Amino acid sequence: MVKVPTPAEGLRQRLDADLDRLQTEAGDNFTRYALTALHPVLEKKQVRFGIWNAPKISLVNPFYRVVRAEEIGRLDIISTEYYDDPRLWWAIAHVNRILNPLNDMVIGMTLIIPRKEAVVAAIETGNPALFEV
């Protein structure tokens, strides 16, 4: 009997395959933002990471974290600590309205960290375009 992957498992498999492919192609030039498309915001003369309809992430019983100096711009490290997956950095950025982690994070600011279950539920209930590569 063939096991059919759940939507979350299928998403994980696609993301892992894309990440492996990009790491192989980029070699030493690979960055944590390689899977995120850049889009100009002309009226503000800015560049944004991706354009998507933000999923509704529940903030029931979230974690809170005070940013330390070594974490400025490194939501991937915080994401790994809470979710065991650096690719979910965008959920922390979205909830905290961080558009540019290097500019918008400051030492001592308190981040709201949604529960991993809430992020997974938001992914599963709707926004497949969010993960197109």
pLDDT digits (tens, 9 = 90+) for 26-53: 665 555 555 565 555 555 655 555 556 6
C-alpha span between 130 and 76 (Å, rounded):
17
Banded model confidence at residue 130, pLDDT cuts 50, 70, 90: very low
Structural domain boundaries of the chain? Answer: 7-131
The pLDDT of residue 38 = 56
The pLDDT of residue 9 = 72
Q: Which residue has the higher pLDDT, 60 or 123?
A: 60
Question: What separation in angstroms does the CA of 70 have from each of 42, 79, 95?
Answer: 32, 14, 21
Contacts of 28 (CB under 8 A, 6+ apart): none
Note whether 35 and 22 are within 8 A (CB): yes
Report the percent of the chain where pLDDT is more than 90.
44
Q: Which residue has the higher pLDDT, 63 or 47?
A: 63
pTM of the full structure = 0.58
Banded model confidence at residue 129, pLDDT cuts 50, 70, 90: very low
